[in-house]
Every structure is written in structure tokens, then in C-alpha cells.
Amino acid sequence: MIVLSAIVSLTLLGLVLGLLLGIAAKYLKVESSPVIDELEALLPGSQCGQCGFPGCRPAAEALAAGEAPATLCPPGGSALAEQIATLLGISLDLSDMAEPEALVARVDEDNCTGCTRCFKVCPTDAIVGAPKQIHAVVADACIACQKCIAVCPTECLQMHPVEVTLRNWRWTKPPRMRSSEAVC
Amino acid sequence: MLSFFKKAKPTIRGGVHATEHKSETSGKPIVYSFPLPAKLYIPLQQHVGKPAEPLIKVGDHVLKGQLLAYSQGAISAPVHAPTSGIIVDVSEYPAPHPSALPIRTVVLASDGQEKWQKFSPVNDPLTIDPEEISLRVGAAGIVGLGGATFPSAVKLSQGRKNKVHTLLINAGECEPYLTCDDRLMQERPEKIIDGVRIMLHGLGATQAIIALEDNKEQAFLAMQTAAQPYPNVTVMQVPTRYPMGWDRQMIRYITGKEVPAGSRSTDMGILLHNVGTAYAVHKALRTGQPLISRVVTISGSAVKNPMNVEVPIGTLISEVLDFCGVDLEKTQRLVMGGPMMGEALPHPAVPIVKGTSGILALAENEIKTGTEQACIRCGSCVSACPAGLLPLEMMSRIKNNQLDAAVGFGLKDCISCGSCSYVCPSNIPLVHYFKYASGELIARQQAQHKTEQTKRLMHDKQARLERIRLQQEEEMRQMQMEKQQRELAKAQAAEAEITS
Amino acid sequence: MMNRAKLNSSPHAKADSAVSVIMRQVLMALGPATLFGICIYGWPALFLFIITVTAAVMFEAWCLRLAGKPVKATLQDYSAVLTGWLIAMTLPPYAPWWIGVVGAGLAIVVGKHVYGGLGQNLFNPAMLARVGLLIAFPVEMTTWVQPHPWFSSALPGFVESLRITFIGMDNIDAVSGATLLGHVKTELSQNHLLPHSLDGLFDMANVWLGLMRGSLGEGCLPLLLVSGFWLLNKGVIRWYTPISLLGTVFMLATMFNIYDPEHYLSPLLHLGSGALILTSFFIATDYVTSPQTPFGQIIFGCGCGVLIFVIRTWGSYPEGAGFAVLLMNSVTPLIDHYIRPRIYGRDHKGKPLEVVD
Amino acid sequence: MIMVQDGWQVYYKLILMERVTFLVMPNRLSRLTTVGHHPASGSVKNGINPAFLLEKTVRAAMSDYLLLLLGTALVNNVVLVKFLGLCPFMGVSNKLDSALGMGLATTFVLTLAAVASWLLEHLLLAPLHIEFLRILAFILVIAAVVQFTELVMRKTSPVLYQILGVFLPLITTNCAVLGVALLNVQQQHSFIQSMLFGFGSAAGFTLVMVIFAGLRERLTLMAVPRLFAGSPIAFITAGILSLAFMGFAGLYK
């Protein structure tokens, strides 16, 4: 008798709770994770593929699923990594993240043949020019994806560090306190 | 008249009593005998806003006071020739900036003639159209001489637009060492008062208050005597406590009200100008002379003969230092401006610009670079911060790359006044952290902007490619259709031929 | 000559302040009360004091060495001396030598260097040591002896003192007794009501002059108060924490004493016992482990006060100041997180103010 | 007629009160039920004022409740004194916000689970004499409550949901939840007591979570030696915190 009542009562309990949860799940349904959208908005969106994912959306999905580290995006640098970490609430180890050196592509005008291959691949139309004419890079639009370097037949396109001027000069971070230096 | 202010209870928050070091220069008259340098290096941007655009070419002969470069854009200021001579070069030279990176500069070789250009000063600036005053102040290239270097004409126009009722003349000069405003007030109080009255007229404001720290007794007396005949100009003393010269601190002390974050003091009906600016306005309106020289305090214990000296804009700092005698071996740090907010210069081969209030050659015992130690959370910086921030919390977050958290603690309200670093017993370079973080935030903002731009560009490109593809398909289809039609016609013709 | 390679940010001036100066001032302030304590408890107190401070310095040096930090330069900030000193002040004066050593080790190693050294710790090292000792060695930590005025013959001699500190007391029960708060606790638990149970044992003057059983440094209250106010005057500490702490204890004690004088001690005895003055001026004001803002410090002080009163009155540890300080240390990050000064031009929530013309 | 009506009303009030009192405090039941209260006996006139009784009971109960609540939250803190629920205590205390979220979620689950398990025990398990299924049945209920919480949180706060991650479903296996439900049975708490015990435990849990998260947030800013950085220092800190909470010993029970 006890066994029967135990079986029946627990079964009923389970059924009732399952039913309630089923109803709740129906009412509290969530379409898609807004976190992925937020992550995608943070990522550069240049679909450069340097993270190893085919584009920024898949990278965002991997981030949301916890399959990729917050430091995955080299163009975004530590600033982006920090934003991602804040959004996902994870702690971040920036020590293994090399700060990307700001680069910009430049055309060596002596070697350019005007083949137009580079400006066909440029995702941001940062290379201007016409067939059989020397091309030039609009520095402000260049995102340093280096796609043009790969296709240039004469190797006249090269990456150069962005020149430091009064306009983009910044204070560097104070050096880490090295008290071991203080031995007198 | 002062009823608006009397109600308010004066408050001072934070701040420090920095060692003054003013007596070295405050008792000596301004020196006017500085020999004219052979070459002057006049940067085209000595102000906030867009750089001026040069009018002259290399080889041109210019007269003293002649316009060299005109202002472009809404916020900008023109640049004039500090002496007569020949333009030798217009290109990049080191800027008076901690990085000493190049800036576009006009190099003028003086001919020693000091031949002035002819001016047409107005007869009575106090009766002309206020708009005219703004125009003339703008044309004279006057910028905020306290160091902010914001074009004064823009401020005057904005103030008039905002119906400012009070002109507050900041003569606080709260930075240690600096006495150029102090000396100016002691020696030329009438001219300053005149400049103030001209600005009052240009603004349409009802009253002017000249506020100076109570350590400048002589200047206060001189200014009060000079202001005696004019009931709408008041001279008042404020306590000596750095940073009293921070405009918002001064407004809080005088009115008891705070300027809301993100607003300007003109929203409260108050416009601030530096006392040196008032003098420059007087000069520009009464004589027509543009801003081509300024009084600079040369001090610091490595300077043998500290003094206030009037020098043409564009003079190399090394030449001024030579004039005063400097012990370069003793000089541990060369500072442009005051010791609290001035910038350290890597070398003295940079020119004096409109915003240069002082050049300090400081020795080790003055800067006291101690070894940095760990923060003991003593809270001295919290008490010293005039803006009500928590410097140590911001610092520890910036140190650990948590910039957003630092912003949450009010990083953007930091004015880099240096009070926190000054009092820190652990020698932590707090301001350096804040400057780094602010720069980094700007860089990030720009990166963000660029990301958005990139997205738009990519979108555009894809749309264009898509359009081209569609177009090509359309053309192909049409070609095929035509081909078919042609073949059809041919076939029909053949058929017709056969049938016929 | 200028170092051209290094970029130096403003300001290019500096006040004359240094960590070591602050620490030295606190040490100086502790001096008179310590001397007084050593005088009334004799040689054993001096031995214990020296052992504890030396042990603290040795542990500090050892930890610095392990961490690869400059030993000599860092020792000169006097923070280890201060920690050891404060531990010694809160120990029973006739405690055996190893109590001092274990306490110093707990404070310096676990309380401080495990966290990364000066300024990094979350809990007050001295109080951590005291609480740890109290829980681990309850007998040694609650063996209180009667003080005797100024080198009187009742104090143990030099050799006897060496025995007390390094071997142990034989006649513990004969010379030791409870502190005021411990006594009250015991009496109340046996249903002896208050005013009578104190008769002849503890009078107010003795309590305030420190001539009653207690720890080494809680001694003479006038001396501690004078030192505390000297520190306030020097700007080393600020008044928010000590005054709010003392005020809270005083108010709570007054309320309960008026409500039921037979069960609740009078406020003046509360203030005078259990190292309350020492705690409020020298321990609760520790920079590292207390909040930054004035209002935060007032909350901290009030919290300490309430906890001290509650633990003393109803808890199992009549000398509960250490627990109270540790508990408030643990909420300090939260206080600092939520209590921030108002930023210029903004309201307390950080929103810009309204423009007033 | 009127008399009789009054008498019935009083009778109903007493019956109602009895129920309430049973819910409130089973051990006080006997005192009330000994009072004769048959409508015909006119006991109302004999000086037994139900309102007075009710008030006295409620007042006594209230101070008991307050003590129970504070005692559970502070003195017998579920984490630092009973050492239950250590998994989320160490796992989700990196950030203040997530610790608070976890605390609130656990509060919700714990209180609901305490109530539900009490009902289950007294309405199902005890009458059917199948108390041996207690753990099984409790876990079933707790799992359902956690699932529900998860659904709600996913809908209302996706970021928190993301942050809490696996620790949210793991509330099911949070030993504090099951522990409190079982302790309720063991200590024969009434319905209200169970609820308060659950809520008090959860409040204590949340308090400690928030305190610990505050400490850990500060720890991330400190120059902790590499040897101790991360979990080791967190464990040491938790130990010291537990040490500090020993100061509450003897305040309750």
C-alpha cells in the first residue's frame, strides 16, 4: 500500500510540476539571445577572419557560448576585450594579449601597375584609383585587414605603422611600480 | 548689485596649500629689455580649435603686427608677425608640448627694424557696436592667456548670445611660481580695468568681478584703486588655496553655486576671462595692436635671475632662459606653465606661444621625485580633490585596465589639477594615470567611430557590388533576349523564304 | 640634468608627505600609553612587547625577501613595527612569548603579505592576529593579571619575569582574573545583578586610569585620548571614525543602561573598558581597511560601535572589538562602492545638476 | 438571537485563530485549545478575550520570528557557520552584480523551496507515511523551482542569465537549499517558521555573497603575489571572514 501510494504520489507530483513548468516555458519563451546581438555590435564587423571564425556573427555566437576567449579579436585590441569581458561578466587576463600596433597600408608608387586587384578586395573602399593608374590608400578608411597585401602582384602595398603626430599623440601608461629598483 | 552673490555661502572643497615660490619674482618689475631674437618660430596653432592658414610665402617681407595666417573655422584664431622681417620657412618644427612633435610653424627672420604696420584703432571702444568688439578681439588673435588658449572672441560672442550678466575676471593665479598676472596688475591696473570695461561693453553684461587670491596684496590694492571710479567693476579677494583659479571652483566660491556637469558657466550667466586677456583686449581696442608678445614668468631654482619678462611670441625658450641665466646641470625638469598643471618639455628649443604663462627650470629639491610606493589608501587624495572624485580608486582601476570602471568613478570629471599627486605620500603619479586613461578613452572612441564607419563602408561596397551584379545579369538577360529575338527573326525569315 | 627620455606628467611639485612619516607619527602617539602599560605590568610586558615587535619585523623581512622586494627600504616605512606594536598592545601582558610570535606571524604573513604587502590587505592585520589567537588559544588570551602601580614590589622581578614570559606562570589562578567585561558576563550568567556584582572590584577611577586588569596597551585612557587627539590635530587620522564609534557605543550603552541598569553596564564603564579608546583611535582608523569618504567612515564607525556593543553584551566574547573591526573591514569595499563623494556639478547619483541662473 | 450570533462569530474567530496559530506556532496550540470555547458556554464573558490572546500570541511570535530571522542570517549563517552552499559562494562571487543576482535568485528559490517542502512534508509525505521519500521529493520540488527561476531570469535579465551561466541550474544542487528544507523538518518548524528560516538563510547567503564579492572585487585591484592570486587568496579571505563571523557566536541559541 505504501509502495503504491509512494509511486502514485511521486508520479503525480512529477506530472504536476512538469505541466506547470511546461506552461511557464510557453509563457516565458525567449526568441534569440540578445547577448549575441550585443556582442556582434561590439565587434568591428569587418569580417576579417583573424579570430579564426568566418565572420563577426559566428565569433559573437562562439563568445556567447563560451567557446572563444574574450581576447579573440586582434583588431579590437584590449579595449574590445575589456568590453566583451564586462558584457559577459568574465574576468580577463590581458597579459597574453599583445596590443595591436596601429598599421596602415601604403602604396609604393614606383611599383604600382594599376592592376586594380587591391581595390577589388578592399572591404572598405579605402584604396582609390582606376585601371592602369597608380592607386592610393585613404588612411582614415584603412582598417589594416591586409587583404590587399596578399593580392598585390608587385608587392608595392606594404603595411606601415601609423605616424605619431600631435593630433594622435597620447600619454602612455605609467610603468608598473618596480620596487625592486628601489634598493639603495 | 552684489545681492545675487551675497546670499550664497562661500565654500571651498578640496585643494592644497602648495609651497608658493612667488616671492622670487613678485617683487621685481616686468623686464622689457629682452633683446629681439634673430629668428622667431611662430606655430600656426597656438589655440584650441583649427590651426590658422598661412597667407604669406617664404621670402615675403612682413611688418610688425601684420597678419601671417588667418583663422579658419568657427573656433580658431589668427597669427600675427611679432616683428618685422622676412619669412624664412613655413614647415614643421618642434612644438612646445611634452612630446615636442613637429607642428606647422612660420619662421620669421627679424630685420631689426621693428617696423609696425599701420593700424586703425577705434576712437572710443566703449561706444561702438558690441559685435565690433568681438570682431576686433578675434582679428587681434587674442586667446585665453591663462593657458587654456580658447579664442576670446568666440567666448565673447557666446556670452552675448547667452545674455551673460556677470563677467568674472580670473586673476587667481593659483599656480605656484607664476606671478606674470600679479605683476601686470601691479604695474598696469588702469589698462586692465579698461580692458575689462571694454569686454563688459562687448558682452552687454551688467557687472564685472575681478577675483584674485589674497596673497597678492599689492595687486589687490592697485586694482581696487583703479576700479574705484567704476561701480560696475568690483575687485575681490578669494582665499589662497590651489586650484582656486579653476573657473568652476571660483564660481562655486563666489556664487555658492556649481556649474552643472556638461554645462558652461555662461548657462548660469557668468563668463570667465583671464586678467591677461583683459589687458590684451585693452591693447587691441585702444591701439589696434594684435597679440604678438606676452609677459612670461621665468623662475625655478635653476634660474639665476628669475623674473617676469615681456617676450615676442615665437621666441625660443632656450633664448629666454639664456637671458635669465639658467644652470642646465641643475635643471632636473623644464616646465612650461605652472608646476601643478604645466607640461614638462623634453628640450628648450621650442617657442613661447600665446598660452605660455611661465617657464620653470626646476631642480630636484623642487620636484621631489620620490620612489613610487604602494597605495596605503590614506585618502589624502580624496580630501584634496576639488572635483569630489576618488583618485585612488580610479588609479587602481586604470592600473588594472578597467577603464570603464574608472569612468564610473568620475574620470571624465577630472580636471588634471594635480592636487592628488601633490599630496600623495606614496609618490604615485595619479595624474599621469588619468591623462593616460583619458587619452586612451579618446582613442577608443575614435576606434569605435572608425568601426562604425567601416561597417558603413562595407555595407556600401556590398550594396554597390550587388547593384553591379544585378545590372550585369540584367544586361545578360537582355542580350540573350535580343539574341533569341534575332534568331527567331532569322528563323522566321528563313521560314518565310522557304514558304515563299 | 634633465632626463629627456622619460615623460613626466604634471604636477612637478610635491608636498612633504611620506608613508614612513605617517607611520612614525602613529608610533609616537602610541608611545605614552605603551610606556604606561609596561610600567604597571612590569618586565613581562616589556619582554612580550619587544618579542612581538621584533617578530613582526622579522616576519616582514622574511616575506619581503620571498617576494623579491627591497627589504631594507621597505622596512623603513615602519608599517611592520606598527602592526607588531598594535598586536602587543592588545595582548594580555603576561602571555607567553610564543603568543606574541604567533600573533605577529598571523598578522604579517596571513594578514598582510599573502595579500601582497602594505596597502593590499583586506583585514586589519593586528585585529586578525588578535581574533585568531583568541579563538586558537582562549586560555592564554584571557589570562589577565592585576596591574600594580609603578615598579611596586608586587610586580615580578626580572628573573621571575623571564620565567613568566618564556616558561609560563605557575600560579595562574592565583594572580589572574577576569577583565571588567568578562567579569560582568560571568556574573550575569549566574544571575548576579550588576551594581552589586561590581562592588569593590571595579571602580570608575581605576577603570579610566587603566589600573585594572586588561591588555597591555588599553591602559590609561587620558594618555590614549591625548595621543588620539594629537593624531587628529596632525591630520594623520580624521575624526569621523573614532567619534562615531565612541558615540554609538555611548548612546547604545546609555539607552540600555537607563532601560535596565541591572543587566546593562553604564556607558562610562563601556567607554573605559575593552580597549575601546585604543580601537577607535588607532585600530578602526587604519587607512587600508577602512572606507575613504567621510560618510563612509561614519558608517564604518557606527557599524563598529553597534557590533562591539552587541558582541560585548549578548555574545560569547566580551572583548569583542576585534571581531567587530574585522566584520566592518569585510564590508568596507561595499561601503566604498556605494558611498562616494558628490562630484562637482553633479548630484549624489552622478546626474548633472540643474542649471540655476 | 443576537447573543447566539455573537457567540458563533466568536467561535469562528477562535477556529480561525487556531488555524492561524497552528500555522504560526504549533507548540502554542495546546495553550489555546485548552480554553473552553463552546458557543453555549459563554466563555467570552468569562474574561477570555480572543483579541487579547491573539495579540499576545502574535507579539510573542513576532519577537521569536525576528530572532529566528536574524539568528539564521547572521549567527548561524548558512555559508560561514554551517558551511553550506559553498559552491556558488566561491563560484559566482567574482563580481558584485552577479553575486547580488545569484543571492536574489537563491533567495527566491530557497524561500519557495522551504515553503513548498513544508507543504509537501505535511500534506503529502506525512499523511501517507512515505517520509522515506523525503529527499527525493524535495529535490524534485527544488529542481522545478530552479527551472522556473531560470525561465524567469532568462526572460527578464538575459545578461545576468549569461553571467550566472551554469551556476543558475546548479542552485538545484546547492546544498543550502536542500539543507534548509531538511533542517526545517528536523527542527519541526511551523509553516511560517519554515518560511522565515528559508528566507533568513537566503538573506544570510546573499549578505555573505555580496560582502565576499565586494572583497574579491577589491582583490582584483590588489597586487596579490602570483602564488596566491585567484582562488587561493579567495579561500584565505573566506576563512578570515568565517573567523570574523565567529564573533556572533553565542548571540542566539
Tell me if A179 and C9 make a contact (CB, 8 A cut-off). Answer: no
Q: How many CA atoms lie within 13 A of B174 on its CB side?
A: 25
Shortest alpha-carbon distance between residue C252 and chain D (Å): 17
Among the listed residues A147, A148, A113, A110, the one whose alpha carbon sits nearest the alpha carbon of residue A131: A113
Render pLDDT for B366-422 as a digit per residue (tens, 0 to 9).
888 888 888 999 989 999 999 999 999 999 999 888 888 899 898 999 999 999 999
The strand order across the sheet containing B85-94 reads B39-43, B102-110, B85-94, B61-62
- Best to test chain A binding among C69, C79, C118, C120 (most A CBs inside 10 Å): C69
- Partner residue facing D246 (CB), from C123, C135, C332: C135
Residues 354-393 of B with CB under 8 A from D: 374
Tell me if A9 and D128 make a contact (CB, 8 A cut-off). Answer: yes
The domains spanning A34-96 and A103-161 adopt the same CATH topology:
no
Number of residues written out for chain C: 357
- Best to test chain B binding among D218, D221, D222 (most B CBs inside 10 Å): D221
Q: Which residue type, as a one-letter code, is found at position D164?
A: L
Tell me which chain B residue has its CA closest to the CA of residue D223: B374
Q: Is D210 in contact with D103 (CB distance < 8 Å)?
A: yes
Render pLDDT for B309-330 as a digit per residue (tens, 0 to 9).
999 999 999 999 999 998 888 8
Average pLDDT over residues A59-73: 83
Does the pLDDT at position A130 exceed 70? yes
Domains contained in chain B, number: 2
Residue B334 maps to a domain: no
Percent of chain A surpassing pLDDT 90: 1
- Partner residue facing A179 (CB), from C7, C9, C69: C69
Residue B230 maps to a domain: yes
Render pLDDT for A29-44 as a digit per residue (tens, 0 to 9).
776 667 788 888 888 7
A contacts of C7 (beta carbons < 8 Å): 171-172
Residue B475 maps to a domain: yes
Render pLDDT for B71-129 as a digit per residue (tens, 0 to 9).
888 889 999 999 999 999 999 999 999 988 999 999 999 998 888 988 888 888 888 88
- Partner residue facing B101 (CB), from A82, A83, A165: A165
- Give residue B430's domain range: 372-500
Q: How many contacts (CB atoms, under 8 Å) link B and C?
A: 177
d(CA D131, CA C273): 54
Show the cell assigned to A178.
Answer: 618596480
- Best to test chain D binding among B372, B395, B396, B426 (most D CBs inside 10 Å): B396
B173: three-class secondary structure by DSSP = coil
- Partner residue facing C73 (CB), from A171, A174, A182: A182
Does the pLDDT at position C47 exceed 70? yes
Under CATH, to which class is A103-161 assigned?
alpha beta
Average pLDDT over residues B450-471: 83
Partner D contacted by C146 (CB < 8 A)? no
Residue C162 maps to a domain: yes
Residue B263 maps to a domain: yes
Question: To which residue does cell 567574482 refer?
Answer: D94
Does the pLDDT at position B272 exceed 50? yes
Domain positions in chain A: 34-96, 103-161
Residue C10 maps to a domain: no
Residue B93 maps to a domain: no
Partner C contacted by A177 (CB < 8 A)? no
Backbone angles phi, psi at B367, to 5 degrees: -85, -25
Calculate the CA dihedral of residues B336, B338, B343, B349 and round it to 10 degrees: 10
Render pLDDT for D128-178 as a digit per residue (tens, 0 to 9).
888 888 888 888 888 898 888 888 888 887 777 877 777 788 787 788 888
Q: How many contacts (CB atoms, under 8 Å) link A and D?
A: 63
Partner D contacted by A1 (CB < 8 A)? no
Residue C272 maps to a domain: yes
Show the cell assigned to B249.
Answer: 571652483
d(CA C78, CA C89): 16
- Partner residue facing D215 (CB), from C122, C310, C315: C122
CATH number for B204: 3.40.50.11540
Residues 221-280 of C with CB under 8 A from B: 238
Split at pLDDT 50, 70, 90, the class of A64 is confident
Question: To which residue does cell 580624521 refer?
Answer: C238
Split at pLDDT 50, 70, 90, the class of A108 is confident
Whether complex ipTM tops 0.95: no
Residue C7 maps to a domain: no
Give pairs for B221-224: CB < 8 Å, separation 24+: B222/B185, B222/B186, B222/B189, B223/B171, B223/B185, B223/B189, B223/B192, B223/B193
A contacts of C74 (beta carbons < 8 Å): 179
Which residues of D make CB contacts under 8 Å with C? 96, 210-211, 214-215, 217-219, 222-225, 228, 233, 236-237, 240-241, 243-251
Q: What is the DSSP letter of B413?
A: G
Higher per-residue pLDDT: D54 or A128: A128
Residue B58 maps to a domain: no
CATH number for B408: 1.10.1060
Sequence-distant (6+) residues with CB within 8 A of C84 are: C52, C53, C54, C55, C56, C57, C104, C107, C108
pLDDT at res. D32 = 39
Q: How many contacts (CB atoms, under 8 Å) link A and C?
A: 19
pLDDT at res. C132 = 94
The strand order across the sheet containing B307-312 reads B307-312, B293-299, B358-362, B333-336, B343-345
Tell me if C72 and A183 make a contact (CB, 8 A cut-off). Answer: yes
d(CA B293, CA B279): 12
Partner D contacted by B400 (CB < 8 A)? yes
Number of residues written out for chain A: 184
Q: Which residues pair with B235 in a beta bridge?
A: B210
Tell me which chain D residue has its CA closest to the CA of residue B392: D221
Tell me if A184 and C72 make a contact (CB, 8 A cut-off). Answer: yes
DSSP states of chain D: -HHHHHHHHHHHHHHHHHHHHHHH-GGGHHHHHTS---GGGTTTTTT--HHHHHHHHHHHHHHHHHHHHHIIIIIT-TTTTT---HHHHHHS-SSHHHHHHHHHHHHHHHHHHHHHHHHHIIIIIHHHT-GGGHHHHHHHHHHHHHHHHHHHHHHH-HHHHHHHGGGTGGGGG-HHHHHHHHHHHHTT--HHHHHHHHHHHHHHHHHHHHHHHHHHHHHTTS---TTTTTHHHHHHHHHHHHHHHGGGTTS--
d(CA C153, CA A154): 102
pLDDT at res. B430 = 93
Number of residues written out for chain D: 253
Q: What is the DSSP letter of A101?
A: P
Render pLDDT for B194-226 as a digit per residue (tens, 0 to 9).
999 999 999 988 999 999 998 899 999 999 999
CATH topology of domain A34-96: 3-methyladenine DNA Glycosylase II; Chain A, domain 3 (1.10.15)
Residues B233, B376, single domain; the answer is no
Domains contained in chain C, number: 1
D contacts of A88 (beta carbons < 8 Å): 162-163
pLDDT at res. B306 = 93
Show the cell assigned to C165.
Answer: 614570559
Higher per-residue pLDDT: C111 or A86: C111
Q: Is B222 in contact with B216 (CB distance < 8 Å)?
A: no
Tell me if B458 and A171 make a contact (CB, 8 A cut-off). Answer: no
Residues 89-148 of A with CB under 8 A from D: 89, 91
d(CA D119, CA B52): 82
Split at pLDDT 50, 70, 90, the class of B10 is low
Which residues of D make CB contacts under 8 Å with A? 94-95, 97-98, 120, 124, 128-130, 133, 136-137, 140-141, 144, 147-148, 151-152, 154-155, 158-159, 162-163, 165, 220
Shortest alpha-carbon distance between residue B93 and chain A (Å): 12
The gap between the terminal CA atoms of chain B, to the nearest Å, is 114
Q: Which residue type, as a one-letter code, is found at position B490?
A: K
- Best to test chain B binding among C8, C12, C19, C293 (most B CBs inside 10 Å): C12
Backbone angles phi, psi at B429, to 5 degrees: -80, 70
Residue B432 maps to a domain: yes
CA B448 to chain centre: 26
Residue B44 maps to a domain: no
Mean pLDDT score across all residues of chain C:
86
Show the cell assigned to B179.
Answer: 606671478
- Name all chains with 3 or more CB-CB pairs below 8 Å to chain D: A, B, C
Tell me if D211 and C334 make a contact (CB, 8 A cut-off). Answer: yes
Tell me which chain C residue has its CA closest to the CA of residue B331: C1
d(CA C279, CA D69): 30
β pairing state of B293-299 and B358-362: parallel
Show the cell assigned to D113.
Answer: 523551496
Q: How many CA atoms lie within 13 A of B415 on its CB side?
A: 23
